[in-house]
Amino acid sequence: MTDTPFTGDAGPDGARPAGAAPPAAGRPDPAGPDAVSCRGLDYAFGETKAVQDLDLSVAAGEVFGLLGPNGAGKTTAIRCITTLLPVPAGMVRVFGHDAAKEKMAVRRLLGYVPQQLSADASLTGRENVTLFARVFDVPRRERSERVAQALAAVDLTGAADRMAKTYSGGMIRRLELAQALVSAPRLLMLDEPTIGLDPIARTSVWEHINAVRHATGMTVLVTTHYMDEADQYCDRVALMHRGRIHALGTPGELRAELGERRAAAGTPGDASGNASGGASGGASGGASGEKGALPTLEDVFRDVAGSGLDEEGGDFRDVRSTRRTATRVG
């Protein structure tokens, strides 16, 4: 993997002083505000409340996972944070900037990879990233170098001048990651970044995300349905259901908490295991139904969301969008 040359230095809208080192990956930056702060966030589509009274803080430098079934409100929350949906003043802040009053300042700090395909198949990889550099107002004198850096960061230099329609699913997702990185964002927002990819391609995408994150101190906010990804790569996770957060903590903490509740209730599994790690320990404790085994993050997900097959779990449009994206990158 090519080492990323990004420095991650904040621009005029960032809180990090010139010359200051970025925070260690996965740790808050004590010199600045939270990367994301939501207070009492509500959003409705007509009579349907997608997000309800959401309180959420994402520390600078961490990888934060927003989990939940279809229709939980994850994508709506992401769109509010990215200013794609309007919110009242004071509800959402990104590195201290109000998403309602300072939309442009917020957008300059963001890189966003939506669930829907954002790459243009009729352009080369380099042309796609250059287009995003223009959209994000990367200065013309820096544009060529920044495009080359973004492509190198995701190992696409060799394929940069090929048409995107010739790329594999994993390469397309890496191209979209390069598009989001070209503006050197302090906060990277990823909505189902590995949907439709095989296990090898999923691992490759996360390796590139982590390489850039460790080099720059960039904050990552990700939604995913893959519990193994959240367990392995996220420092903390929040589980949403019907617009509200029902559980928040490191993956290890949430697994241990469920284990303790099961032990107290006399249900299969108990509280044994190590709850101190954010991304370690995963499913290594054995099958969750075995006596003495620590529950998995999937068990926590099921505990919060139930079967996931209730009538309020997303709609036809959600299913169509997910399957369309999976088909196009698969």
Nearest to 160 by CA among 174, 180, 140, 141: 174
pLDDT for res 286: 47
Report the b/e string of 163-173 with b at 16+ CB within 10 A: ebeebebbbbb
pLDDT for res 31: 60
248 token code pair: 């928040």
C-alpha 237/C-alpha 226 separation (Å) is 12
pLDDT for res 325: 53
Q: What is the pLDDT along the chain (330 residues), one digit of tens a residue?
A: 444 445 444 443 443 333 333 344 434 455 678 999 999 999 999 989 999 999 999 999 999 999 998 889 999 999 999 999 999 988 999 999 999 999 999 999 999 998 888 899 999 999 999 999 998 889 999 999 999 999 999 999 999 999 999 999 899 999 999 999 999 999 999 999 888 888 888 898 899 899 889 988 999 999 998 999 999 999 999 999 999 999 999 999 999 999 999 888 877 654 444 444 444 444 444 445 555 578 999 999 999 887 544 544 445 455 455 545 544 544
How many alpha carbons lie under 13 Å from residue 3 in its C-beta half-sphere?
5
C-alpha 205/C-alpha 193 separation (Å) is 8
